[in-house]
Amino acid sequence: MPHAELCSPSAFERWSHCTAAPHFEQNFPEEAPSRYAEEGTLAHRICELYGRKKFDSGFSEADFQAGMDEAKANPLYDPEMLRTAEFYLQYLNEKSISFPAKPYVVFETQVDLSEYIPGCFGTCDCIMIGGGRLHITDYKHGQHIRVSAIGNGQMRLYALGALRRYAALFGGTIERVSTAIVQPRITDEIVEDDMSVDELLGWWEELKPTAQEAYNGPGTFVPGSHCQFCRGKNMCRARAEGVLKIEDYRQRPVTPPNKLPSLTYDEIADILSRGDGLIEWYNGIKAHATQLLLQGEEIPGWKVVEGKLGNRSFTNADKAFEVLAEQGVESEMLYKREPKSLAEIEKMVGKKKFAEIAGPFITRAPGKPTLVTADDPRDRITSTAADDFADIEIQEAS
CATH number reported for the structural domain that contains residue 134 in this entry: 3.90.320
Is residue 111 a contact partner of residue 162, using CB atoms and an 8 Å limit? yes
Q: What is the pLDDT of residue 385?
A: 43
Q: What is the pLDDT of residue 4?
A: 43
Residue 354 belongs to a domain: no
Residue 320 belongs to a domain: no
- Whether residues 140 and 34 fall in one domain: yes
- Whether residues 11 and 117 fall in one domain: yes
Is residue 235 a contact partner of residue 20, using CB atoms and an 8 Å limit? no
Q: What is the pLDDT of residue 1?
A: 38
**What string of pLDDT tens digits covers the 398 residues of the chain?**
343 478 999 999 999 999 999 999 988 888 888 899 999 999 999 999 999 999 999 999 999 999 999 999 999 999 999 999 999 999 999 999 999 999 999 999 999 999 999 888 999 999 999 999 999 999 999 988 889 999 999 999 999 999 999 998 997 899 999 999 999 999 999 999 999 999 999 999 999 999 999 999 899 999 988 998 899 998 898 988 888 776 566 556 655 555 656 678 887 888 888 888 888 888 888 988 888 888 889 999 888 888 888 889 989 989 998 899 888 888 888 888 888 899 889 888 888 889 999 999 999 888 888 888 888 888 888 875 445 545 555 555 44
- Report the DSSP beta bridge partners of residue 109: 124
- Report the distance separating Cα 243 and Cα 199, nearest Å: 37
As a whole number of Å, the CA-based R_g of the chain is 27
Q: What is the pLDDT of residue 254?
A: 57
Query: Among 79, 26, 77, which Cα is nearest to 348's?
Result: 79
- Whether residues 186 and 95 fall in one domain: yes
Contacts of 2 (CB under 8 A, 6+ apart): 119
DSSP string, 211-258: HHHHHHS------SGGGGG-TTGGG-HHHHHHHT--HHHHTSPPPPTT
Residue 300 belongs to a domain: no
Domain end, chosen from 166, 196, 216, is at 216
Structural domain boundaries enclosing 268: 244-294
- Whether residues 112 and 249 fall in one domain: no
Q: What is the pLDDT of residue 397?
A: 46
Residue 282 belongs to a domain: yes
Domain end, chosen from 272, 294, 316, is at 294
Q: What is the pLDDT of residue 3?
A: 39
- Whether residues 188 and 289 fall in one domain: no
For residue 195, the SS3 value is strand
Residue 301 belongs to a domain: no
- Report the distance separating Cα 163 and Cα 181, nearest Å: 19
Q: What is the pLDDT of residue 269?
A: 85
- Whether residues 69 and 166 fall in one domain: yes
Residue 230 belongs to a domain: no
- Whether residues 209 and 265 fall in one domain: no
pTM of the model: 0.73
Residue 333 belongs to a domain: no
Question: Domain total for the chain?
Answer: 2
Query: Among 156, 169, 89, 172, which Cα is nearest to 124's?
Result: 156
- Whether residues 10 and 64 fall in one domain: yes
Contacts of 242 (CB under 8 A, 6+ apart): 223, 277
- Whether residues 211 and 251 fall in one domain: no
Residue 362 belongs to a domain: no
Residue 12, burial from CB neighbour count under 10 angstroms (0-12, 13-18, 19+): buried
Is residue 17 a contact partner of residue 224, using CB atoms and an 8 Å limit? yes
